[in-house]
A and B are shown apart, each in its own frame.
Chain A
Amino acid sequence: MRENLLSAVQRQAMPVLPVTGADLKVSRKGRVLLDVDNIEIAGHGTTVIVGPNGAGKSLLLNLLAGLRQPDRGNVRWNGTPPSRSRYCRFGMVLQHAVLLRRSVKANVEYALRAVGHSRNEARRRAEASLGEAGMERLAHASARVLSGGERQRLALVRALATHPDLVFLDEPTSSLDPASVMAIETMVQDASVKGMRAVMVAHDLAQAKRVADEIILMHHGRIVERAATDDFFQRPQSETAEAFIAGRLLI
């Protein structure tokens, strides 16, 4: 069933999951920005990464996405380094998503063309995706004139339209109104129910509670705690986690 959703190119591409990072270190000018011994993203559900500003959440996601190289250590997608051909099974909304200087629909079509769909197929799927997200009204607007909430929704629609196996979302709801936050969370949850693995950076604990199956807490470039959502909030294992939940953890 789900196979039908994938393009020929996607079907040929090697799997992305599990994604692993081993011994990841990044430092700049003697300051350690990231120091993660081991991380594995596998299985199902949604992982939410939380932590104060500058904790290294974006850096970790970008390393695992193959956008940055660590000073030490390595990232593997199903055992081999991230490769160009497998990006068609992977979606990401960057913290500062770059929308193309084209219409809303053309942005989605571009993503679909990149994973190997024909022009007609891309158009059909883009229309369907925008329709599902309630954005058909904006299809012909310039992507760059959208409001903040619309922009983030488009970035998400574009990332999900290709039905990736794994999606990374870096603060996709920052500075949005509650309705837009809700719309984005619903889209992620719907995709997750259909089997997509998601990793999302959130700065809002309420949001983490709503969407996370498990939580990763980062602080000073390290993973301090990783636990199922209920355990994380009810039985934090570290003082750092307790302080963070209580809103007392500063940068």
Chain B
Amino acid sequence: MQDFAASFFEAFRLVISLDPDLLEVVWLSMRVSLSAVVMAALVGFPVGAFLAVARFPGRGLLVVTISALMGLPPVVVGLVVYMLLSSAGVLGPLQLLYTPTAMIIAQTILVTPIVAALARQTLEDLHDEYRDQLVLYGLGNLAQLKTLLWEGRYSLLTTLLAGFGRAVAEVGAVIIVGGNINHVTRVMTTTIALETSKGNLALALGLGFILVTIAFAVNALVFMSRAAAVRHAYA
């Protein structure tokens, strides 16, 4: 018990003193997960938008598939990306395994279905509501879509935050493709796993504290953006 108490104090000291090792890990986590969310937005928003307005054979199946992919187990994604990037894999020559880029790729795959599926739902509802009104403005498809994206801005922001929450808390994929290499590919979740198993509870607890804070902050942002949208009747 005394060990635990000491660990708590040490963890607290690490956080308060902005320990460089700790900051490095936090910074990489943010960089990887934010990059993954940006990539997921670049792919997921157009895909979601297209599925929201287009009608073609097989669309229903695609919608269901993307929804199902929201529940992809991170370790399986890690495994698949590992096989692609390993020296025997098709992308082996790029030598990306055990780099932050590999972790960004894996998290992008995890987050993209979330962004695409939630964006599709948001934009489809908006499209149903706005269709006639936008036709009356004589707008083409792209101009209509631009308007829908702006009209759905609060919901879409929530979508991105949800994606970020999933990415930053995820451990299975990044530990496989990143390898948890000190000063190279250590992020908060993988470091917590490693340091805990090594018995170094102070660092693990410090990072755990920061991770929980970030998770709470993301949820608070979601909540505040919804509240702001409702307050201004933009929901």
Contact = CB atoms under 8 A, between A and B. Distances in A.
Interface in A103-146: 110-111, 114-115, 142-145
Q: How large is the interface on B (under 10, 10 to 19, 20 to 34, 35 or more residues)?
A: 10 to 19
A144 B233 contact: yes
Interface string B7-38: 00000000000000000000000000000000
Contacts of A102: 234
A84 B140 contact: yes
A94 B147 CA distance: 19
Contact of B132 (A62, A101, A115): A62
A209 interface: no
Contacts of A228: none
A60 B232 CA distance: 35
Contacts of A66: 135
Interface string B95-133: 000000000000000000000000000000000011011
A61 B234 CA distance: 29
A149 to B, nearest CB: 16
A165 to B, nearest CB: 14
B138 interface: yes
Given A142-B233, A142-B234, A144-B233, A98 B138 contact: no
Given A101-B233, A142-B232, A145-B233, A65 B136 contact: yes
Given A142-B232, A142-B233, A142-B234, A111 B129 contact: no
A100 interface: yes
A203 interface: no
Contacts of A145: 232-233
Given A94-B132, A100-B151, A114 B139 contact: yes
Contacts of B151: 100-101
A98 B136 CA distance: 11
Contacts of A143: 233
Interface stretch (A18-26, A27-35, A85-93, A243-251): A85-93
The interface centre, meaning the residue of B138, B147, B234 with most chain A CB atoms within 10 A of its CB, is: B138
A181 interface: no
Contacts of B234: 101-102, 142, 144
Interface residues of A, number: 26
Contact of A87 (B130, B135, B232): B135
Contacts of A6: none
Given A142-B232, A144-B234, A98 B139 contact: no
Interface string B194-235: 000000000000000000000000000000000000001110
B139 A97 contact: no
A67 interface: yes
B56 interface: no
Contacts of B138: 84-88, 114-115
B150 to A, nearest CB: 8
A84 B140 CA distance: 8
Contacts of A144: 232-234
The interface centre, meaning the residue of B129, B136, B147 with most chain A CB atoms within 10 A of its CB, is: B136
A75 B135 CA distance: 16
A97 B233 contact: no
B176 to A, nearest CB: 42
Contact of B129 (A62, A87, A98, A110): A98
Nearest to A99: B133
A169 B50 CA distance: 32
Nearest to A9: B138
Interface in A47-93: 62, 65-67, 84-88, 90-92
A15 to B, nearest CB: 15
Contacts of A90: 136
A119 B140 CA distance: 19
A84 to B, nearest CB: 5
A142 B235 CA distance: 11
A47 B133 CA distance: 22
4 closest pairs, A vs B, by CB? A87-B138, A144-B233, A114-B137, A98-B133
Given A101-B151, A114-B139, A142-B232, 13 more contacts: A84-B138, A85-B138, A87-B136, A87-B137, A87-B138, A94-B132, A94-B133, A98-B130, A101-B233, A101-B234, A115-B138, A142-B234, A145-B233
11 contacts: A62-B132, A66-B135, A67-B135, A84-B139, A87-B137, A94-B132, A100-B147, A101-B233, A114-B137, A114-B138, A142-B233
